Homo-oligomer: A and B are copies of this chain.
């Protein structure tokens, strides 16, 4: 569990895209961040107050979150100077970088001396159980994709936000680095040892009130041969009551796999639903989330209308249209 609120470290991000973790926190959990820390030459701005460490501390910040990708996989001297100073001034550090904070001897030494925590969210911090498959109370929704990186996390965050806006009981359950930094906790599923994958998802989505919804962040795709095992563990460990089908219509082949075509939404539905019903016989497919970012407005709307008619399910792009109709569908089951 990462202590909030955060100060978001944007460092010397060359552009806005490099700061997408910080932007995700800003978009989805604005209350989790009091300000942004930008170094000279920073090309990103997530529209939070610029603060130095002392100002952020005074504003209540507890953790400096590295909200930016670094260049070349090295934590630079300039960055390290800020990170060390943050530890000394009483901040914990949190990062989703490939190169780990814990692999930097200087950070480890200062953190120890100051009694501060280093959170590398790519590394599991919990000894997860083996899944037991027992039915849990409360409701769970999982987005499953025709491919990786088609907007599953965005969809779940948008649904969670809409439910919260309606006063419904709802949690977003992070299973990847960005999601964990956004919410402050979760399971870095792609780094969990095989035997414990499904158990870690059970651990992440425990018994809850009958009318509470967990929105489990999806990973990979049943149709992506590199990561399908991770997706399978989410379906069985999550025992979802509802599946959302996620799709990106303009993709020419599976991400990173040139020889592999994307499945149709029908094939995704007919593959994922029987597998989900092994763990939860009541599971239903309730809607479709389409990432239409690569389409113009007219093209997007007509694609969505045609998909909705063809599949007999609400089909929306939550980025263009919000997630209200997906929440309506979930609320109806």
Contacts and interface: CB of A to CB of B under 8 A. Distances in A.
A227 interface: yes
Chain A residues touching B, range: 35 or more
B197 A194 contact: yes
A258 B263 CA distance: 34
Nearest to A192: B194
B225 A278 contact: yes
Interface string A224-242: 0111111111011101000
Contacts of A225: 131, 133, 198, 236-237, 239, 278-279
A259 B279 CA distance: 10
Contacts of A232: 222, 228-229, 231-232
A271 B236 CA distance: 15
Tally of this chain's copies: 2
Contact of A194 (B131, B135, B193, B271): B193
A232 B225 CA distance: 9
A195 interface: yes
Nearest to A130: B226
Ranked 6 nearest A-B pairs via Cβ: A229-B233, A225-B236, A232-B232, A229-B229, A190-B195, A131-B226
Contacts of A257: 132-133
A228 B133 CA distance: 12
Contacts of A279: 225
A192 B194 CA distance: 6
A154 interface: no
Contacts of A235: 228
A191 interface: yes
Given A134-B259, A135-B259, A228-B232, A223 B191 contact: no
Interface in A78-92: none
22 contacts: A130-B226, A131-B226, A133-B226, A190-B193, A192-B193, A192-B194, A193-B194, A194-B194, A194-B230, A197-B229, A198-B229, A199-B226, A225-B236, A225-B237, A225-B278, A225-B279, A229-B229, A229-B232, A229-B236, A231-B232, A260-B278, A263-B278
B191 A191 contact: no
Contacts of A193: 190-194
A228 B198 contact: yes
Interface string A192-227: 111101110000000000000000000000110111
A189 interface: yes
Interface string A163-197: 00000000000000000000000000111111101
A21 to B, nearest CB: 19
A259 B132 CA distance: 10
Nearest to A261: B278
A133 B192 contact: no
Given A194-B194, A194-B233, A228-B236, 18 more contacts: A131-B225, A133-B259, A190-B193, A191-B194, A192-B193, A198-B225, A198-B228, A199-B226, A222-B232, A222-B278, A225-B236, A226-B236, A229-B229, A229-B236, A232-B232, A263-B278, A271-B274, A271-B275
